[in-house]
Amino acid sequence: MALGGFLGRCALAFNTRHVRVARENLERCFPELSAKRRAELLTENYEHYGRMVLELAHMFAPMPGHFRSYVQRNVRIEGYEHWEKARAKGKGVLFLGSHIANWEFAASIGAIKDMPVTIVTRRLKPAWLHDWMEKVRLSVGVRAAYQPRTIPTVMKALRDNGGVVFVMDQYMSAPMGEPMRLFGVKAWTLAAIAPLARRTGAAILPVLPKREADGSVRIIIEPEIPLTDDDKADNQRLADRVEEWMRAVPGQALWAHRRFKDVDWGDRAVHG
């Protein structure tokens, strides 16, 4: 925790493009906070990134089984009963996720606890990094769905009554995304979850990871979110839940991502 915080503060001092993006996002999303408090949040956020880098370094340990052992020692899961109840319906589960705390841990501990987990993600570059990450994920039971086979892979996982993880806190353009209200503005957001749940009968379970003061990570599986007859309204409810998480643990959210591209902030000007 101490070393990761130090590394994060060092990265913050370089004032890179990502630092500027994070600072701007915090200014726009929390205009009600003082400049001092936003500066403190930016520091907390970069300390979080430093800690996460050290956590993810365990995925590159050469000892077989090390990452699985590390996750089992340092990650705990709550709300497992919500998974059991949703899976009993036999239609699969769609996990509503986000880039809060350590999302790799969230998928990994689920798979270790006998949840068939498939994450919807992108191929990494360079190729060696992608191959290594896929090998480590598979070592704990996490599978991945990549373009152009995303939908077939997702549908197979649901037919097998497994769980599929979608993250909803990143910029997503059309056709997979649509503008949804987030922090008071319309931001392009993944719009596939509610229609997919309605089409397949899969349950939607929100999952929030949180890093605790001692460095351990708590994965909280929340109760199922019921659907209405309105995809847009349902997707907005999911986006609202993600915003609630980002407000609850702002220091652990991914503010360095250009989440608000193509957004008209109107009179919500950036504070100096």
Over residues 78-125, the pLDDT tens digits come to 999 999 999 999 999 999 999 999 999 999 999 999 999 999 999 999
| Cα–Cα distance, 16 to 162 (Å, whole number) | 40
- In this predicted structure, what is the pLDDT of residue 268? 56
Confidence at 191, pLDDT banded by 50, 70, 90:
very high
Instruction: Tell me the mean pLDDT in the region 3-30.
Output: 97
Confidence at 131, pLDDT banded by 50, 70, 90:
very high
Dihedrals φ, ψ of 48, to 5°?
-60, -45
- Please give the order of strands across the beta sheet that includes 142-145: 75-78, 217-221, 203-211, 93-97, 163-167, 117-120, 142-145
Residue pair 207/222 in contact (Cβ under 8 Å)? The answer is yes
Task: Look at residues 233, 209, 206 and name the one whose alpha carbon lies nearest to residue 222.
Answer: 206
Predicted confidence (pLDDT) per residue in 213-243, tens digit: 999 999 999 999 999 999 999 999 999 999 9
Among residues of the chain, what percentage have pLDDT more than 90? 96
What 3-state class would DSSP assign to 15? coil
- In this predicted structure, what is the pLDDT of residue 264? 86
* In the block, residue with structure tokens 């052992």: 69
Q: Is the pLDDT at 271 greater than 80, yes or no?
A: no
Domain boundaries, the chain: 2-252
- In this predicted structure, what is the pLDDT of residue 269? 41
Predicted confidence (pLDDT) per residue in 205-221, tens digit: 999 999 999 999 999 99
Q: If 0-12 CB within 10 Å is exposed, 13-18 middle and 19+ buried, where does residue 154 land?
A: buried
